[in-house]
Every structure is written in structure tokens, then in C-alpha cells.
């Protein structure tokens, strides 16, 4: 069960023009009430974060990594696969997600992997096709879930990889690992595209009206340090509807999702804060995240005047 005293909201704001238009009219009364009762975490605190829209690790992943005691820098070196799979310290791992790259005249865009409708049978069949090619570079592939395989191999140690959330719907070329440190991975991308272009696996999918799979995305690479302070702490509550809408740039759906979250998890957290419970709120944008925690008495008026009645409009330049 997630920790319902800590709410972490991914893509709570975006610098996309469509989102900015929505923010000008979006009202979130429970968020207003909650922020009036919380104190921003001070800039000197290790939980404060600033970054760039080009960082390989998005703010919501950096915030979660810090919460868990994992490496949380912007360079895409949080060993998510090793931590989530329970790998032993020193074992380099990564997640591999089957994907479809849409190749146009001036870009190579990644479709949302969820649109592939990949079930376990197809996923295992595809893994069997690709595994020998990965093995040639010392990478073992193991089935974990239809949209996520576990990769193990020394070449994954310290590899900087962009989060899947950074590349969905975007040109993948800007998010590939540096070729000087990942030549084998770049070659694998080319080989997999050639292999799958006319493979019977995709012919069978086409006969069922399913999209072709012609690529993969490797993310969450690295190994846990033997001296790591990472914990199995309770995960914060993490609504996904805002993230999903923002990745597809569906801003009306994003606004509706914010209103649902405001009436649900945010309202519950505001009630807990009003009752004096120790709560925490983390809002994440595309560049940075900000955190608030239970405020001391006498602090409420100043915070309320800072954010007014449109808190996200006030915060958008910081997120």
C-alpha cells in the first residue's frame, strides 16, 4: 500500500503552450487549501531540486529516487532495474521495453508502448528472437512483464539512459545514450530495426491488426552500490492520470485529471494536514520538483498570500 501521507504528482505542470493556456483558467480549491497549511522545503534541504527539460531523468523520478535513497542526479543513472528487481549489489541491470519507432522525413518518434497491446505470449516470443543478439554483447535478457524485460550485463554499469517518460511521443535521437560510451547499444538499435523490419513476428501481428514492433528502449541502467543507503521505504501515493495525459499532450484530459486529483488525493491530504498530521506534497514539472511539508503554526498566512488562488500558475516557472 502506498504511503497516503506523501503525495507525489508527476507532470503537475508543463511548459507546452497548450498546458499554459489551461493553467490560466484551472482552479484547484483543495490544492489552494493544502498549500496554505504546508511549508516549502528549504532550498538548503537535499529534497529540493532544479534541472532542465533535457535531463535524462525527469523530476518525478529524481524525487522518488531521493525518497528511496537511490542516486538521484539528472543524468539518467538511477539503477531502477537493479533496485526494482532486487538484484544483488554490483549486478548491473537495465529495463528493456519493446517499442515502435515511427520514422519520418526529419524525425524518429517513439509511439507510446502501451499502444502496442503486447501480451505475455507475444512478449516472450519476441524476447526469444532478440535475446541471442543481445547476448553477443554480453547482455542477458529475462522476461519480467509484457512491456518490460530485465537485462543483465557488465556493459550496463554506469550507463546513462533517458527515462521512458522523456522519449514517448518525441524524437528518440536526442535521448539516445552518448555513442562514445554506448557503441554496442547503438549497434543493437540498428540491428533490431533491420531484423524486425520483415520478420514473420510482425507479419503475424499485422494480420491481427496490431502495430509493428521495430525497436526497444533501454532505461533504468546501473548497479546498486554495496554501501547504498537505498531502502524499501513505503512509496508515496503517485496518481498517473496527469502523466498519461501530458505525455500525449492532451491538455483538456490533463485539466480534467487535475480536477479529479484535487477532489481525491489532494482533498484527503488537506484534511490530514488540517488535523495536524505530518504530510508531504511533491509537485513535479518537466524541469524540477518542489516539496512541501507540515507547516509550523503562524506560517499559514504568508504561504497563502504567496500562492493565492491559482497555485500552479504561480509555480509554473519553478517547475
* Structural domain ending residue among the three candidates 187, 222, 257: 222
Residue 305 has pLDDT above 50, yes or no: no
101 & 55 share domain: no
Give domain status of residue 59, yes or no: yes
Count up the domains in the chain and report the number: 2
* Structural domain ending residue among the three candidates 168, 191, 222: 222
Give domain status of residue 106, yes or no: yes
Given the DSSP bridges, would you call strands 215-222 and 93-99 parallel, antiparallel or unpaired? antiparallel
Angle, helix 120-135 to helix 183-197, in steps of 10 degrees: 130
The region of weakest confidence among 171-175, 231-235, 256-260 is: 231-235
**Which range of residues forms the domain containing residue 12?**
3-69+231-315
290 & 310 share domain: yes
Q: What is the pLDDT of residues 96-115, one digit of tens each?
A: 999 999 999 899 999 999 99
65 & 93 share domain: no
Q: What is the pLDDT of residues 192-228, one digit of tens each?
A: 999 999 999 999 999 999 999 999 999 999 999 976 6
180 & 243 share domain: no
91 & 204 share domain: yes
The region of weakest confidence among 149-153, 306-310, 312-316 is: 306-310
Give domain status of residue 75, yes or no: no
Given the DSSP bridges, would you call strands 3-9 and 280-284 parallel, antiparallel or unpaired? parallel
36 & 87 share domain: no
Name the band, by pLDDT with cuts 50, 70 and 90, for residue 44: very low
140 & 62 share domain: no
61 & 93 share domain: no
Residue 152 has pLDDT above 90, yes or no: yes
Identify the pLDDT of residue 309: 57
Name the band, by pLDDT with cuts 50, 70 and 90, for residue 310: low
Find all residues with CB under 8 Å of 311, minimum gap 6, and list them: 28, 31, 32, 35
Name the band, by pLDDT with cuts 50, 70 and 90, for residue 119: very high
Residue 302 has pLDDT above 70, yes or no: no
175 & 155 share domain: yes
Cell of 149: 524485460
Q: Which residue has the higher pLDDT, 23 or 310?
A: 23
99 & 195 share domain: yes
Amino acid at each position: 500500500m502506498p504511503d497516503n501521507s506523501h503525495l507525489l504528482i508527476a507532470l503537475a505542470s508543463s511548459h507546452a503552450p497548450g498546458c499554459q493556456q489551461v493553467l490560466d483558467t484551472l482552479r484547484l480549491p483543495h490544492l489552494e487549501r493544502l498549500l496554505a497549511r504546508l511549508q516549502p522545503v528549504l532550498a538548503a534541504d537535499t529534497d529540493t531540486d532544479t534541472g532542465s527539460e533535457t535531463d535524462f531523468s525527469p523530476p518525478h523520478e529524481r524525487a522518488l529516487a531521493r525518497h528511496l535513497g537511490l542516486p538521484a542526479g539528472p543524468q539518467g543513472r538511477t539503477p531502477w532495474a537493479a533496485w526494482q528487481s532486487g538484484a544483488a549489489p554490483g549486478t548491473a541491470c537495465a529495463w528493456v521495453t519493446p517499442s515502435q519507432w515511427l520514422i519520418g522525413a526529419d524525425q524518429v518518434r517513439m509511439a507510446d508502448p502501451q499502444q502496442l497491446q503486447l501480451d505475455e505470449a507475444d512478449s516472450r516470443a519476441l524476447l526469444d528472437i532478440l535475446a541471442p543478439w543481445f547476448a553477443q554483447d554480453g547482455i542477458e535478457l529475462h522476461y519480467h512483464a509484457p512491456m518490460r524485460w530485465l537485462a543483465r550485463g557488465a556493459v550496463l554499469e554506469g550507463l546513462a539512459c533517458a527515462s521512458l517518460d522523456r522519449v514517448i511521443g518525441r524524437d528518440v535521437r536526442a535521448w539516445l545514450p552518448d555513442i562514445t560510451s554506448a557503441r554496442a547499444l547503438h549497434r543493437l538499435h540498428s540491428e533490431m530495426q533491420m531484423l524486425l523490419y520483415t520478420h514473420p513476428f510482425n507479419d503475424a501481428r499485422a494480420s491481427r491488426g496490431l502495430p509493428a514492433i521495430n525497436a526497444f528502449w533501454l532505461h533504468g541502467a546501473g548497479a546498486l552500490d554495496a554501501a547504498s543507503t537505498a531502502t524499501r521505504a513505503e512509496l508515496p501515493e503517485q496518481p498517473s492520470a496527469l502523466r498519461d495525459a501530458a505525455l500525449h499532450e492532451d491538455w483538456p484530459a490533463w485539466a480534467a485529471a487535475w480536477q479529479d486529483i484535487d477532489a481525491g488525493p489532494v482533498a484527503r491530504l488537506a484534511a490530514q494536514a488540517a488535523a495536524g498530521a505530518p504530510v508531504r506534497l511533491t509537485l513535479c514539472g518537466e524541469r524540477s520538483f518542489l516539496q512541501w511539508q507540515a507547516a509550523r503554526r503562524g506560517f499559514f498566512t504568508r504561504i497563502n498570500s504567496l500562492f493565492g488562488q491559482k497555485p500552479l500558475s504561480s509555480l509554473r516557472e519553478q517547475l
